[in-house]
Amino acid sequence: MPTTGELLRDGLERLSAAGSDTPRLDAELLLADAVGVDRTTVLAYPEATVGPEAAARYATHLERRARGEPVAYLGGLKEFHGLAFAVDRRALIPRPETELLVDLARAELVEQLTGTPRPAGTPPLAVADAGTGCGAIAVALAVALRRLGMLAEVELVASDVSPGAAALARENAVAHAVAARVGVAVADLLPAAGMAAGPLVVPDRFDVVCANLPYVRSGDLASLPAATSFEPALALDGGPDGLAVVRRLLDVLPGRLATRGVAFVEIGADQGEAVALAVEAHLPGWSCFVSRDLGGHPRVARVERSGGG
């Protein structure tokens, strides 16, 4: 029987020849998944033998990866904000840069919850996650608030126009034990007020809106890495300039965002100026501040009524 070291060497050669950007890491992750251990264990025991069933699974996934399929889809899991999310071709694979949006939304909710008195009977803060995909933002935010002991004061409505993506988001909410506070609805952008979202009822207005909507320019889709061709185009295509869907969200914010509410919208690394101009055009008198990610690129636009009211 082959050893883990031998299989890793073969996998590295196969994926390098196929043009993978990270052939060694890909091979390690795929072998760890096939064997049923973590990557560290695979690396620690290169002399360990691998049974025929696991070796066959590894070989199959290796070939699929060589054809460009993302490792996350092959293993069925993706780490995001310290949590493991089920992922498949129903939804976009969550990216590390989106963690900034979660952090900003969490800080805003903590501020709203602690900045002013909340007498007994005060309704929970309402949060929307528009274009939720696999539910990464809503679930990660709910888990973060649970750790702070604040989840009971918040209700999150996650929505996606794709029924498949919405179903995947529900699965992840259940897996992380937050389904009682994260309701999922099938809807374009923000679901209608009064609509059922799992155990929740969609409110008239939201205190915080999170949105990681499609923002890739239509003309740039063909030049994206091969792995993205396995992801739903609906979750990537943002129209001619990448902001078509974002503009549609801006148009509905006046009627759905609370008076002192805040929207956090993820954007492309070169769209900081464009999104500010879009806010100026679609929401006169509102403010837009763009936060940068760890790479120094514009990443999340904070949109709100000027002066918070």
- Would you give per-residue pLDDT tens digits along the chain (309 residues)? 899 999 999 999 999 999 888 999 999 999 999 999 989 999 999 999 999 999 999 999 999 999 999 999 999 999 999 999 999 999 999 999 999 999 999 999 999 999 888 888 899 999 999 999 999 999 999 999 999 999 999 999 999 999 999 999 999 999 999 999 999 999 999 999 999 999 999 999 999 999 999 999 999 999 998 889 999 999 999 999 999 999 999 999 999 999 999 999 999 999 999 999 999 999 999 999 999 999 999 999 999 998 754
| Pairing of β 206-211 and β 125-130 | parallel
How many angstroms separate the Cα of 15 from the Cα of each of 6, 27, 28, 44? Answer: 14, 8, 11, 21
> For residue 308, what are the contacts with CB-CB under 8 A and spacing of at least 6?
260
> For residue 169, what are the contacts with CB-CB under 8 A and spacing of at least 6?
91, 132, 133, 134, 135, 138, 139, 158, 160, 184
How many other CB atoms are found less than 10 A from the CB of residue 221? 15
> For residue 87, what are the contacts with CB-CB under 8 A and spacing of at least 6?
72, 73, 76, 77, 78, 93, 94, 134, 168
pLDDT at residue 267, as a whole number: 98
Identify which of 48, 69, 65 has the alpha carbon closest to the alpha carbon of residue 5. Answer: 48
pLDDT at residue 21, as a whole number: 85
Give me 89's structure tokens. 């071709």
pLDDT at residue 308, as a whole number: 53
Give me 8's structure tokens. 């890793």
Q: For the chain, which residues make up each domain, given as ranges?
A: 4-67, 90-308
Q: Give the model confidence (pLDDT) of 127-145 as tens digits.
A: 999 999 999 999 999 999 9
How many other CB atoms are found less than 10 A from the CB of residue 302? 17
127 near 206, Cβ under 8 Å? yes
pTM passes above 0.85: yes
pLDDT at residue 133, as a whole number: 97
pLDDT at residue 171, as a whole number: 98
Q: Which long-range contacts (CB under 8 A, 24 or more apart) does 79-88 make?
A: 80/136, 80/140, 81/136, 81/140, 81/143, 81/144, 82/140, 83/139, 83/140, 83/143, 83/176, 85/134, 85/135, 85/136, 85/139, 85/172, 86/134, 86/168, 86/171, 86/172, 86/175, 87/134, 87/168, 88/168
Q: Give dist(CA 293, CA 103) in Å, integer.
A: 11
CATH class in words for 90-308 = alpha beta
169 near 80, Cβ under 8 Å? no
CATH class in words for 4-67 = mainly alpha
Q: Give dist(CA 109, CA 116) in Å, integer.
A: 12
